Structure 1
Amino acid sequence: MNLRPSPADLHLARDEQVTGSRMRRDPTWRRIRKGVYAAAMAWDALAPWDRYLVRVHAFALTHPDAVFCFESAAALLGLPVFGEPCDIHVLAGPRSPGRRHGDVVVHANVRARAVAEFGPIAITTPQETVVDLARVLPPAFGLAVVDAALRRAEFAGLAGAMQDAAERTGARGARRVEWIRERADASAESVLESVGRAAIEWWGFEAPTLQVVIRTGAICDRVDFAWPDRRVIGEADGDVKYSNDPDEARRQVLAEKRREDRLRRIAGGFVRWGWAETMALHATRDVVPVRDLLLGVGLPQVRNPKVRMLATLAANPRSIPHARLLPG
């Protein structure tokens, strides 16, 4: 397994004497950390979660002995990161206390977390990283991290690690880990599907079946969510990517339209939603919450909504306020 590289090239201030470029005084450069710079154009174009990965790599350049954990390890592993986390997270040495230095949180290694080395960078093991995040992230986001990990072979043994964490009575976040463990499903193919599944539950709807194959003659279509007894189909649309070639993009759009037409002829109700609809609690001029969309195609609420749980979708308290939280 390889760690994700920095999305922007990093340059050290000490190299200025070689390059002749004065990055500290040049507005075309951005200071990422003391002594580490990236081109302003590249930095400004990055999504918040990619900026965070650049910050992690910048810290690794100046602190080669660091052992990354929590969101910092997750970003390096290519797991979902929500917004731009406020802090760089590293482990303290043996018998060293936890502490904070600016945007760097040093965590006391009281549980003797296992560590893995990937070339010059050390992190908590993939399983340790996922369990740590399941403890501290808002529940739907933690579920998305665990679902994403379960889809990858290098996270073998995660289910056992989750169960061990959930059974540690009184341990921080044990109940949250248990909630996630009971719902984690590798069948969820995207972060939006994972977060959407939590929202569907909290709005009081029946749990959907994931990745259902529907046959129409000789054609098989797979759908994200289905309630077969209710003849309702749901599709979670994240960032839909079409070819840069206009002709190929047109073919892709037409193929998707034909697919949707087939499904609408079979289903009693068909509905699509994206990030905005998933995260919304109230209807606006531009956004209809997933609750209203599902009610509109005849899916009944079988339980009272869990308003406090739904409110956790609004923000990630571990990320920089007002930064874009999710794609789309």
Structure 2
Amino acid sequence: MGIPSRMTEPQVDLEGLVRLRRDLLASGITDNQIDRLVRAKVLKRIRYGAYVQHDVWDRLTPEDRHRLLARAVRARAHSATALTHVSSIVERGIPLWGFSLDVVHTTRTGNHRAGRRQADWTPHRGILEPEDQEELNGVVISTAARSAFEVTTIGGVEAALVAVNRLLHAKAMTLDEFVAQAEAHREWPGSLTTNLVMHLADHRLESVGEDRFSFLAHTQGLVRPEPQVDVFDEQGTLVARVDFAWPELNVFVEFDGKIKYAKHRREGETLDEFLMREKKREVLVCQLTGWTCIRITWSDLARPELLATRIRKVMASRNKGAA
């Protein structure tokens, strides 16, 4: 079945927010005055020669600050400069994990040499062909499949897997398109990471936390869990969907994170009310299936060996009980 939509959430409009030094000077402001405005936190220096109103900067998320930095880079770069790699994915509003947002990544379109690397800017070598680029929010970026491949060449497997899964889940690309990009650029360094990400990629995962747990299960040698498992009551009515399960081992996993709280809380529902409803849901799943629930958090993911040991103990106890 084809992918019906490639749209992501609209991004904050950053048009016209970057003010270059040359423009400020042309308006009659001196360098000394610019420095005073920066010290007074009226202006925020984004990078050398580029500024924004400080109150605007304070309101922006880390992702939108990266997008603004990208615009400051492009404002003084070659006109053929396109946002690629991490910067292309951020421009789409796709969540990332494990990549720095302090550095803008670009590639030039057409047959142009890359610029000079700077502390906040990595201009990549290579050419961005017309079929690998598109325009979004007024800037040229690499296509979703191309940027997915690109990040596998600059990041670790876990970080790259998160990026690829988020693009797949957002329906910004298909797995076949990602594989096609990998095949077309097999000579690029980092193919080992790309191949492993292709093997582990799963569009069914719904959050960064789920992506990271799936990767943890792989690295810790756990049986690969089934994601998004439906649970039905005695009348065949769908009553719950759990994040992961090992049905044959009578164990399921629920990931507790802020995204889940925001996504599944009902209008007007307090956090305590939501947590109580989640607890009732967990009890119902256990009663209907006979499974044991393992709840994990972000802090658990930071201790993969301990979490894997805990999961193995639960699995072992369930096997003994079944015997």
TM-score by length of 1: 0.75
CA positional deviation for 1:41:
5.4
Query: How big is the shift at 1:244?
Result: 10
Q: Distance in 1 between matches of 2:307 and 2:13?
A: 35
Q: Which runs of 5+ in 1 are unaligned?
A: 283-288, 301-328
Is residue 54 from structure 1 mapped to residue 68 from structure 2 by the alignment? yes
AA aligned to 2:293 is F
Partner of 1:4: 11
Identical-pair percentage: 20
1:251 to 273, 288, 291: 273
DSSP-derived class of the 1:206 partner: coil
Q: Structure 2: which amino acid aligns with 1:275?
A: W
Distance 1:274 1:132, change over 3 A: same
Aligned AA (2:294): V
Q: Which amino acid aligns with 2:11?
A: R
Distance 1:210 1:75 in 2: 26
Equivalent residue number for residue 92 of structure 2: 77
Alignment correspondent of 2:46: 32
Instruction: Give the alignment of 1:174-185 within 5 angstroms.
Output: 174-185=191-202
Q: CA 1:7–1:94 in 2, change beyond 3 Å: closer, same or farther?
A: closer
Aligned to 1:146, the other structure's residue is in SS state helix
Contact conserved, 1:238 with 1:275, CA < 8 A, in 2?
yes
Note closer, same or farther for the CA distance 1:51–1:275 as it changes in structure 2 (3 Å cut): farther
Name whichever of 180-189 and 216-225 sits farther off: 216-225
Corresponding residue number in structure 1 for 2:303: 280
Number of residue pairs the alignment of both structures matches: 293
Q: Cα offset for 1:9?
A: 8.8
| Structure-2 change in CA distance of 1:56 and 1:171 (3 Å) | closer
SS of the residue corresponding to residue 100 of structure 1 reads coil
- Looking at structure 2, the residues matched to 12 and 208 of structure 1 have their Cα atoms a distance apart, in angstroms, of 50
Superposed CA offset, 1:269-297 (max 9, x none) = 21111222113246xxxxxx421331232
Does the CA-based 8 Å contact 2:96-2:162 persist in structure 1? Answer: no
1:241 to 257, 261, 279: 261
* Alpha-carbon distance between aligned partners in 2 of 1:127 and 1:36, rounded to the nearest angstrom: 31
Q: Distance in 1 between matches of 2:292 and 2:171?
A: 36
Partners of 2:57 and 2:196 in 1: CA distance:
37
- State whether residues 6 and 53 of structure 1, in contact with CA within 8 Å, keep that contact through their aligned partners in structure 2: no
User: Higher Cα Rg: structure 1 or 2?
Assistant: 2
Q: Secondary structure at the match of 1:297?
A: helix
Aligned partner of 2:136: which letter? F
Task: Compute the displacement of 1:35 (Å).
Answer: 3.9
Q: Distance in 2 between matches of 1:154 and 1:68?
A: 16
Distance 2:181 2:73 in 1: 32
* Contact 1:235 1:272 (C-alpha < 8 Å) held by counterparts: yes
Residue correspondence of structure 1 range 171-320 to structure 2 within 5 A: 171-217=188-234, 218=237, 220-239=239-258, 240-241=260-261, 247-265=269-287, 266-281=289-304, 289-298=306-315
Displacement of 1:232 in angstroms is 0.4
CA shift in 2, pair 1:221/1:9, >3 Å = farther
* Map of 2:112 onto structure 1: 96
Higher RCO, Cα 8 Å, sep 6+: 1
Range that drifts further, 195-204 or 30-39: 30-39
- What is the CA–CA distance in structure 2 between the aligned matches of 1:35 and 1:63, rounded to whole Å? 12
Whole-angstrom distance in 2 between the partners of 1:7 and 1:279: 35
| Structure-1 residue corresponding to 2:155 | 137
Identify if the C-alpha distance between structure 1 residues 299 and 170 changes in structure 2 by more than 3 Å, giving closer, same or farther: farther
Q: Give yes or no for contact 1:73–1:123 (8 Å, CA) kept in 2.
A: yes
The offset of 1:49, in angstroms, is 4.0
Which residues of structure 2 form unaligned runs of 5+?
Answer: 1-6, 318-323
Question: Which residue pairs with 1:116 in the alignment?
Answer: 134
- Alpha-carbon deviation of 1:193? 0.7
Provide TM-score, normalisation by structure 2: 0.76
Distance in structure 2 (CA, Å) of the matches to 1:247 and 1:164: 44
Shift of 1:224: 0.7
> CA 1:281 to 1:118, structure 2 compared with 1: closer, same or farther past 3 Å?
closer
